[in-house]
């Protein structure tokens, strides 16, 4: 079991939204240190928080973070972008950027930190997905989250040999800047962060953060034409 108290964690995209809530919840549960990243420099006055710049599209940036954060025991892959461009007609550069950030970004982080987690008794890797990993209709974003889900499931098998717990997190709509324009019921970042850490500490392999996500997961055994974005409304 990976208990949070006394541990060192890194949260990508920790400056705001769910990332900021994860940083808060980690500290509330007694984390010893939290590296919190953003694409540009920022300040957090809490002594347990170490801020760092990170561009997950850059292998050099990810490597630089891993060199600084060699004491990390829990990695939260939270950084992501929401560009719901249609796959057929959307700007192809935006489609590829979505996959680079949401799929290859977490994979770069996982590859860089896997040896560190192994050296620090295994620890845990937590990847943030979406209910849209399972529902068609949100263009490049949903497709990228579906790919990220598959990557996480494969990483779970590959990292088992070094005793690293891998947790995949699925959530519906969270009340953050990213989805402020979507007029649907939303969970608070604090609620979702608490559920994620509850799952981590309970040795879960998957966290379903809300009722919408539970319903979508149950529908995976049904007809594929029912797995659409409208199902989450």
Q: Would you state the pLDDT for residue 172?
A: 87
Overall pTM > 0.75: yes
CB-neighbour burial class of residue 184 (10 A; exposed 0-12, middle 13-18, buried 19+): exposed
Which CATH architecture describes the domain 8-232?
Answer: 3-Layer(aba) Sandwich (3.40)
Q: Taking the mean position of all CA atoms in its chain, how far away is CA 34?
A: 15
The question of whether 33 is a catalytic residue gets the answer: no
CB atoms within 10 A of CB 48: 14
Q: What residues form DSSP beta bridges with 166?
A: 125
Domain ranges of the chain: 8-232
**Active-site choice (42, 145, 186, 217):** 145
**Active-site choice (33, 35, 141, 186):** 141
Q: Would you state the pLDDT for residue 212?
A: 87
The question of whether 145 is a catalytic residue gets the answer: yes
Q: Would you state the pLDDT for residue 211?
A: 87
List the alpha helices (DSSP H) in 58-131.
59-68, 92-99, 105-119
Q: Would you state the pLDDT for residue 231?
A: 46
Residue 228: phi and psi, rounded to 5, are -130, 165
Q: Would you state the pLDDT for residue 178?
A: 58
pLDDT along the chain (233 residues), means of 10: 93 96 98 97 97 98 98 98 93 97 98 98 96 92 96 98 97 67 70 96 95 89 66 47
Do 37 and 13 form a contact (C-beta atoms < 8 A)?
yes
Do 177 and 16 form a contact (C-beta atoms < 8 A)?
yes
Query: What's the half-sphere exposure (Cβ side, CA atoms, 13 Å) at 210?
Result: 21
Total number of residues shown for the chain: 233
């Amino acid at each position: 079991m990976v208990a949070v108290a006394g541990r060192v964690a890194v949260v990508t995209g920790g400056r705001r939204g769910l990332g900021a809530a994860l940083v808060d919840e980690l500290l509330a549960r007694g984390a010893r240190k939290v590296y919190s990243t953003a694409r540009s420099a920022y300040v957090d006055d809490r002594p347990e928080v170490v801020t760092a710049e990170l561009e997950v599209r850059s292998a050099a940036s990810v490597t630089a973070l891993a060199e600084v954060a060699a004491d990390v025991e829990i990695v939260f892959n939270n950084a992501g972008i929401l560009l719901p461009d249609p796959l057929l007609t959307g700007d192809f550069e935006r489609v590829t950027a979505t996959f680079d950030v949401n799929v290859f970004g977490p994979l770069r982080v996982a590859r860089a930190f896997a040896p560190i987690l192994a050296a620090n008794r295994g620890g845990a890797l937590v990847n943030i997905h979406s209910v849209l990993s399972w529902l068609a209709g949100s263009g490049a974003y949903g497709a990228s989250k579906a790919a990220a889900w598959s990557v996480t499931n494969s990483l779970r098998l590959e990292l088992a040999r070094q005793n690293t717990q891998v947790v995949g997190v699925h959530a519906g709509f969270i009340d953050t800047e990213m989805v402020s324009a979507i007029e649907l019921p939303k969970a608070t970042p604090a609620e979702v962060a608490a559920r994620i850490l509850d799952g981590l500490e309970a040795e879960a392999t998957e966290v379903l953060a809300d009722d919408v996500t539970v319903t979508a997961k149950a529908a995976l055994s049904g007809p594929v034409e029912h797995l659409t974005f409208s199902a989450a409304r």
